[in-house]
Structure formats: structure tokens, C-alpha cells
Amino acid sequence: MAEFRHIVRLANTDLDGNKKILFAMKKIKGVDVMLANAALSIAGVDKTRKAGELDVEEVKRIDEIINNPSKHNIPAWLLNRRKDYETGEDTHILGADLDFTKENDLKRMKKMKSYRGLRHQWGLTVRGQRTKSNFRKDKGKGLVGKKKTTIRK
């Protein structure tokens, strides 16, 4: 058995070695429990083991599966970028690329002035929620208790 490591490097992210690997992988941006579960099953790693107990070979296998999930027969519905706008392929994006891609998608929608883009631009709800009573925090506070001062001559 390999020695215990307190920090495990996986997909350019430092994971806590004291947590179970299934839940430690949630720290990677773009990986949730479902994808982590699928990746660990394909890699043949026990989900209840601590992340610090994994040896280098197992970490490399998990890293390969996380970076290229479609090559390892992970179903398309688990991927976070299905039918990409430019390529039309199903891919999975991790880390800072996820933020960059999301930002570009919003810019594209705003530029073409689609309904969703305009709702994003105005700071309103996008997915059909009601706005009469909810989502009031972004409306802004009025000036409370301030009186108008008029200058008299």
C-alpha cells in the first residue's frame, strides 16, 4: 500500500486526502457526484477509500477518465456540454474553461439579442419563473428617510 498523501492532485485541482474520493472529487469544477461515481466505477476504484490512500496509477486512470469521459463510454447525459454550438459534439468541460465557455455563451446570446440573452442582460429570470413576488433582491433599495431639500429665496 502506498503512503498516505494529504493533498491529491487531480484534474489541476488539489483534493483533500482525508475525504472519501467520491466526495473529494466534487471540488473539481465541472464534476458532480454522478460523474465521479461513473468515473470511479470505470476506473475500478472503491468509492469509500480515502483520496490520500490512492496510488499514482489509480489517480492517473481517474484523471484520464475525467478529462475524456466520452472515450470511456460515459453516457452523454452526464456530460456538461452537449451539442456544442461550434462543433455540435458532446464534450465535458472542467475548471476555468467552464467559466470561459459559459461567459462566451452569454455574450453570444446577448449579441444576437435572443430572448434568453436579453433576460440575462436585464438581470431578470431566464427560465420562466414568476417575478411578481420573488427575485426582489436585485431590484435595488430606494432611498429611505431622505427628504428633498428645497432652497427658498
Instruction: Say if residue 140's pLDDT is above 70.
Output: no
Based on the fold, state whether residues 74 and 100 are members of the same structural domain: no
* C-alpha separations of 39 from 20, 62, 75, 82 in Å: 14, 6, 11, 18
92-137 pLDDT, tens per residue?
989 898 899 999 999 999 999 999 999 999 888 999 888 888 877 7
Q: Is residue 85 part of a domain?
A: no
Residues 52, 6 contacting (CB under 8 angstroms):
yes
The single-letter code of the amino acid at 55 is D
User: For residues 111 and 121, is the Cβ–Cβ distance under 8 A?
Assistant: no
Residues in the chain: 153
Query: The domain containing residue 20 runs over which residues?
Result: 7-78
Same domain, 64 and 12: yes
Task: Give the model's pLDDT for residue 131.
Answer: 86
Q: How many domains does the chain have?
A: 2
Beta strands in the chain (DSSP E): 7-10, 13-16
Residues 61 and 100 in one domain: no
Could you tell me if residue 89 is inside a domain? no
Indicate whether 13 and 70 sit together in one domain.
yes
Compute the distance between CA of residue 86 and CA of residue 108 in angstroms, rounded to an integer: 12
**pLDDT score recorded for residue 143:** 57
And the C-alpha cell for 149? 431639500
* Tens of pLDDT, residues 39-95: 999 999 999 999 999 999 999 999 999 998 889 888 989 898 888 888 888 889 898
Distance between CA atoms of residues 2 and 119, nearest Å: 53
Q: Does one domain contain both 70 and 104?
A: no
Domain for residue 126, yes or no?
A: yes
User: What's 16's domain CATH number?
Assistant: 1.10.8.50
Residue 113 placed within a domain: yes
State whether 11 and 70 are in the same domain. Answer: yes
